[in-house]
Amino acid sequence: MSGAATIRRRRRYASPTRVECLQRIGACAYGEGALRMSRIILKVNGGTHTVDVEPTTPLLYILRNDLGLQGPRFGCGLGQCGACTVIVNGAAVRSCILPASSVKGEITTLEGLSSNGKFHPIQQAWIDEQVPQCGFCQNGQIMTAKALLDKIPNPTDAQIRETMDTTLCRCMTYYRVQTAIKRAAKTMADARPSSAKEIVA
């Protein structure tokens, strides 16, 4: 086989990069030059990341595929089940329908809750109350609960049910979820006075 033939064969079977694949798909579907990539800077779990993506790419895809964060899950893809929930500027949002280019501010995923190897009180409450069954929806449950307790440190049962109402669990762990949220709220409340005393001392 000649050198030229070898080069042609290698070019024929060379694997295209991710960007090249997206560019080819865009060109075929909408005409040459239809796909426009943008450089987007995201602040995630205390770190800063720069990615080159199509601006309408859902945040969930970038978190999982580009940043390797497996906490947020792909569930319905319609923003209805809650499995993809992350916290943006203190609010629980559905990352499967949130364009990455529209995100302005700090993003917190499930991986960002623990600190120095220690679980957040909500995570520990989930373990203590043995909340998960299949576990698929628990990212959404935990992140929604975190946003709730940040806003309302001592929520009533009615407030918990109202907040968690749209975060779905096919295993029906709702009663355990409510118990875990109340446990986490108590743990966090008990920790506040001791912290204040240490500061005063």
Q: Which CATH architecture describes the domain 121-193? A: Orthogonal Bundle (1.10)
Sheet holding 47-53, edge to edge: 47-53, 38-44, 106-108, 85-88, 91-94
Confidence band, pLDDT 50/70/90 cuts, at residue 29:
very low
> pTM score, two decimals?
0.78
Question: What's the CA gap between 186 and 139, in Å, rounded?
Answer: 21
* Helix (H), strand (E) at residue 85: strand 85-88
Contact (Cβ atoms closer than 8 angstroms) between residue 62 and residue 53? yes
In terms of phi and psi (left: phi > 0; alpha: psi -120 to 50; beta: otherwise), the region of 168 is beta
The amino acid occupying position 151 is: K
* Domain boundary assignment for the chain: 16-112, 121-193
Q: How confident is the model at residue 8 (pLDDT cuts 50, 70, 90)?
A: very low
Q: What mean pLDDT comes out for the span 126-152? A: 96
Fold of 16-112: Ubiquitin-like (UB roll) (3.10.20)
- Output the pLDDT for position 30: 47
Strand partners, 94: 85
Helix (H) or strand (E) holding 158: helix 157-164
- pLDDT of 35-66, one tens digit each? 688 999 999 999 999 999 999 999 999 999 99
Mean of the per-residue pLDDT values for the chain? 85
- The whole-number average pLDDT for the span 187-199 is 71
pLDDT confidence of residue 193: 73
User: What are the pLDDT digits (tens) for 90-104?
Assistant: 999 999 999 999 999
pLDDT for 192: 85
Q: Given this model, what pLDDT does residue 201 score?
A: 39
**How many C-beta atoms surround the C-beta of residue 3 within 10 A?**
7
Question: Which of the four pLDDT bands, split at 50, 70 and 90, describes residue 194?
Answer: low
